[in-house]
Each structure stands twice: as C-alpha cells, then as structure tokens.
Amino acid sequence: MKVDCIVIGAGAAGLMCAATAGYRGRSVAVLDHANKVGKKILMSGGGRCNFTNFSVDATNYLSRNPHFCKSALSRYRPQDFIELVDRHGINYHEKTKGQLFCDHKSSDILQMLLTECDYAGVEISTHCTVVKIEQEQGDGGFRLRTSLGDYRCQSLVVATGGLSIPTMGATGFGYEVAGQFGIQCLPRWASLVPFTITDKWQPVISALAGVSLDVVAGVGDQQFSDPLLFTHRGLSGPAMLQISNYWQPGAPLTIDFLPGHNLAALITEWRSSGQKGELKTLLSAILPKRFVQAWLEQSVGSRQVQQYSDAELDILQSQFHRWTITPSGTEGYRTAEVTMGGVNTDEVSSKTFEAKKVPGLYFVGEVLDVTGWLGGYNFQWAWASGFCAGQYV
Ligand code: FDA
C-alpha cells in the first residue's frame, strides 16, 4: 500500500496529526499495534480526560531545551482545542486551576478525534506490528514491513508515546526508530508518579493510607500547592505527582501540612484565649484527625495546649510546616502518567517536527523530550505537536 503519510501510534498526538494532514488532502494511514486506539485517552483524568488547561505556556513543561515547545504551543492553543470540543458538542467543566475535564467520559474526546480522522479520510489499522523501517533510495520516503503487509510513504510520523503503563500498549519503539536513524535520545524515567517510602516513616505513612490533605510540597526551588494522599507504599496525590517531575533520586521533599497557617502562632493564640482542649482536638478542626494523631505521636505527643514548652513549639513547627522526607524511589512506569526525557528536541525542527538529519521522518507527542505538569498540559502538547506536524507531513 502506498500513501503520502504513515503515522505510527493512534494516540493523542498521532490522531491529531493524521486528521490535520488528511484535511490538507494528504492520504494518511495510522498504524497501531494495540487492539484498540487511544487507550491512554480513555483512561485519562480518572475516566473524564483532563484534555487541556485554560492557561498553558512553556513554564508548564520540562525539556532539556525549554524553548523548543514554545512555537507549537503558540500555534495551537488550548482555545483551538476547546473550539474543536465545542464543535463536537462535548460538554466539559473546569475542575480546578484551569483544568478542563469532560462532563461525561473520556471516550467523547477519542470519538471526536476518530470522527475528525474519518472526515479527513484517514485509514486507521490496529493489531499492526511494524517489523522493519527502511529509507527508500532515489525519491526518498520510507518502506515499512508490518504484520499487515508492506507500506510505502513519503512522510513517516513517530507518535508512539512514552513508556508509562506498559499494559496499555506503551513501548520504547519510538526511541528504537530514533536510534536506527542516528537520532539522539535523552535518558528516560517515569514521572508524574507516586513516591515510595521505605525508611522509618513507612509504617506511619502506611497506617494513614487513604488520608488526603492540602499541602505545599517542594523540592529544590519548585513548589506545588495541591492535595497529598498517603498510600500503603508512600505518597501520592496531585502535589506528589507534580513534584515528581522535578525530583532526582536522593533529593529530600519538604512538605507544609498547614499552608496558610502558623502553628506556633495558633497555639499561642489558643493559650492566650484560655483554650483548654488537647492539641490533637484543636488541630483536628483544621486537619484530618488520623493525620493529627499520627503526626503528634511522631513528635511531642498530645497534651493540653497550655503545657507545651517553647522548644516543643519549635519541634511542632518544623514537623507540621517543614516536614522533610527522602523517598526511596517512585512507583515507576507501572503507574506513572508520563515519561520524562526521550527524543532530543535538538534533533527535531520546532516548526515542522521533522528530524533535522532525516528528511520525511517526524516525531510528535510524548516520545519527544517534552513533559508537562499534571493538569491537561501533556494532552495540550500532544494536540499542539500533532497539529503543527500535520501541516507539513
Ligand atoms: P499515547 O501514549 O497517547 O499514544 C501512543 C500510541 O502508540 C498508543 O496508541 C500505542 O498503542 C501506540 N504504540 C506504542 N508502541 C507502538 C508500536 N511499537 N507500534 C505501533 N503502535 C505503538 N495527560 C493529560 O494532559 N491529562 C490527563 O488527564 C492525563 N491522564 C493520564 C492518566 C494516565 C493513567 C496516564 C498513563 C497518562 C495520562 N496523561 C494525561 C498523559 C497523556 O495520556 C499522554 O501524555 C498522552 O497520551 C501522550 O500522547 P501520545 O500520542 O504522544 O502517546
């Protein structure tokens, strides 16, 4: 089969790229090895797909070259995707911090992309294993040997995503293709991922599994104000996932469990107003009871507020406002939302997404070394990079 363009990977970026190229009149085939297309779209946002964010700019992304993403993000903005969603009559709402979720289900977004591909005349094949890619001599282009037969194309788009959730079809195929053509890949690791804790805090944390509270979490200069969730194995919740993008093994996290308050000042106030209760009772009005109990047990214990010394107030202050923990690691690709690192963006044009060394070969989406924050930023990158490449493939 001969087409103008083949897209490997029927995920967010691949489907967007295919539809855009199809609308330009290009003949496009999308090949995916999985049994179903768009699996990560379906499982995203707890089944409601956090498909974009009202406010997106380059500061929401990590990449060795922080400028690379700017061009595509400015050429395809959240508003462009929202207009598409509106045209398809999909209802959505803002949950928090500009994050837009479907009212109904993630499948609305996948169905929208498939409808767009259909209108644009794109052919999509699942259960397709790409066995070999060869560059054609003469006119250029590529020849693909696949489990569904041979394909030839002028433009080849690699949209195979990252390594997270292998059970959903994630593979390192995109990095292998880059390697085959001498294109550099940067080291990769799981990100937007929960932390594991194995030190003395493990039993305390495990006993709190299921407790969630608003915190300010920091690593180095980076801070996020979001909920934290204790788990049987460590720390999760949006605050931890966000911080994981900036964490390096061995680095300590600092957590403020009472943001917007000053515990020492509160205790002083309670004392001077003659409050008689135990500290755990007073604190349980502003923090989850189980957490208060455990945190006091690990520091100075709970007594009448009047009975704490100044030295103990200092201990409480650091225990609740500047708790430091060094994770033993992360839960890895099994549960990570994204892969940090990937195809070095220096190897790719930020305008066309074509590999500088290999005319006709394009990389879009998560396979590139561009990783967004939690909150719809990774899909916006998939849409933007897919759309921009779709103008040229
Ligand atoms: P994507 O992973 O979507 O697609 C890659 C495609 O390539 C897949 O269809 C795969 O089967 C196929 N493929 C892989 N190897 C292949 C091979 N060898 N041959 C053929 N095909 C192959 N982001 C966000 O912005 N908001 C959110 O709500 C969420 N939620 C979320 C939840 C969970 C659980 C996860 C794991 C991830 C998220 N994300 C997210 C991240 C988001 O899903 C991710 O960044 C995008 O899907 C990346 O889009 P891509 O198209 O690059 O890859």
ipTM summary value: 0.99
Mark whether 155 and 29 lie in a shared domain. Answer: yes
| Distance from C-alpha of 285 to C-alpha of 204, rounded to nearest angstrom | 21
Interval 197-252: pLDDT, tens: 999 999 999 999 999 999 999 999 999 999 999 999 999 999 999 999 999 999 99
Same domain, 266 and 292: yes
Please tell me the predicted confidence (pLDDT) of residue 276: 85
Mean pLDDT of 81-110: 98
Model pLDDT, residue 138: 82
13 lines ligand 1 (CB under 6 A): yes
30, 337, 387: residue to mutate for ligand 1 pocket, most atoms within 8 A of CB: 337
- Tokens 């608003």: give the residue: 214
Report CA(23)–ligand 1 centroid distance (Å): 23
Average confidence (pLDDT) over 102-122: 98
CB atoms within 10 A of CB 204: 14
**Residue 376: pLDDT band with limits 50, 70, 90:** very high
Q: Is 337 in the pocket of ligand 1 (CB under 6 A)?
A: yes
Q: Is 161 in the pocket of ligand 1 (CB under 6 A)?
A: yes
**Ligand 1 centroid to 164 CA: how many Å?**
8
Query: Among positive and negative, which fits the CA dihedral 106, 110, 113, 118?
Result: negative
**CATH number of residue 261's parent domain:** 2.40.30.10
Measure 276 CA to ligand 1 centroid, in angstroms. Answer: 55
| CATH code at position 366 | 3.50.50.60
Same domain for 241 and 215: yes
Atom 14, ligand 1: which residue's CA is nearest?
160
Report the DSSP beta bridge partners of residue 216: 225, 256
Q: Give the largest Cα separation in the chain, rounded.
A: 89
Closest Cα partner for 151 from 44, 30, 239? 30
Is the Cβ atom of 191 under 6 angstroms away from ligand 1? no
SS percent in the chain: helix, strand, coil, step 5: 35, 25, 40
What is the 81 CA–ligand 1 centroid distance (Å)?
Answer: 17
Reported confidence tier of residue 139, pLDDT bands at 50, 70, 90 = confident
Cβ atoms within 10 Å, residue 147: 12
CA of 59 to the centre of ligand 1 (A): 22
Mutate-to-test residue for ligand 1 from 8, 44, 236, highest number of ligand atoms within 8 A of CB: 44
At 119, which amino acid appears?
A: Y
Residues 6+ apart with CB under 8 A from 75: 384, 387, 388
Question: Which pLDDT score is estimated for 224?
Answer: 98
Q: How far does the centroid of ligand 1 lie from the alpha carbon of residue 21, in Å?
A: 20
Q: Please state, in angstroms and rounded to a whole number, the distance separating the CA atoms of residues 270 and 379.
A: 48
Q: Based on the fold, state whether residues 8 and 93 are members of the same structural domain.
A: yes
The verdict on 155 and 262 lying in the same domain is no
pLDDT of residue 137: 87
CB atoms within 10 A of CB 95: 14
CA distance to 27, 233, 290, 310, 375, per residue, from 262 (Å): 63, 29, 20, 14, 29
Note the pLDDT tens digit of each residue in 28-79: 999 999 999 999 999 999 999 999 999 999 999 999 999 999 999 999 999 9
Q: Is the model's pLDDT at 294 over the cut of 90?
A: yes
- Does the beta carbon of 81 sit less than 6 angstroms from any atom of ligand 1? no
Residue 127 is part of which domain span?
A: 2-189+339-390
Q: What is the pLDDT of residue 258?
A: 98
Q: Compute the distance from residue 18 Cα to the ligand 1 centre, in Å.
A: 15
Q: From the CB of 347, is ligand 1 less than 6 Å away?
A: no
- Distance CA(107)–CA(181), nearest Å, equals 35
Indicate the residue among 330, 353, 380 that finishes a domain: 330
Q: Is 335 in the pocket of ligand 1 (CB under 6 A)?
A: no
Identify how many contiguous H helices and E strands the chain contains and give both numbers. Answer: 13, 21
32 lines ligand 1 (CB under 6 A): yes
Q: Are residues 74 and 178 in the same domain?
A: yes
Check residue 304 and give left, alpha or beta (phi > 0: left; psi -120 to 50: alpha): beta
What three-state secondary structure class fits 101?
Answer: strand
210, 304: one domain: yes
- Of all protein residues, the one whose alpha carbon is nearest to atom 30 of ligand 1 is 44
pLDDT at 1 exceeding the cut of 90:
yes
Q: What does the DSSP 8-state code read for residue 26?
A: -
Across the range 151-170, mean pLDDT stands at: 96
pLDDT at site 274? 87
Q: Is 10 in the pocket of ligand 1 (CB under 6 A)?
A: yes
Q: Looking at the structure, tell me whether residues 183 and 42 fall in a common domain.
A: yes
Which residue minimizes the CA distance to atom 25 of ligand 1? 376
pLDDT class of 275 with cuts at 50, 70, 90: confident
Q: Is 106 a pocket residue for ligand 1 (Cβ < 6 Å)?
A: no
Q: How far apart are CA 131 and CA 144, in angstroms?
A: 7
Residues forming beta bridges with residue 99, ordered by sequence position: 53
Average pLDDT value over all residues in the chain: 97
Answer yes or no: is the C-beta of 48 below 6 A from any ligand 1 atom.
no
Residue 12, pLDDT score: 98
Answer whether 388's CB lies under 8 Å from 351's CB.
yes
Q: Which atom of ligand 1 is nearest to the CA of 364?
A: 52
Alpha carbon of 381 to ligand 1 centroid (Å): 11
With pLDDT > 70 as the criterion, what percentage of the chain qualifies?
100
The structural domain count of the chain equals 2
Together in a domain, 39 and 147: yes
**Is residue 165 located within the same domain as residue 39?**
yes
Q: Tell me: do 149 and 12 sit in the same domain.
A: yes
Query: pTM of the predicted model, to two decimals?
Result: 0.98
Q: Which two tokens stand for residue 277?
A: 């209760």
31, 132: one domain = yes
Q: DSSP string spanning 235-255?
A: EESHHHHHHHTT--TTPPEEE
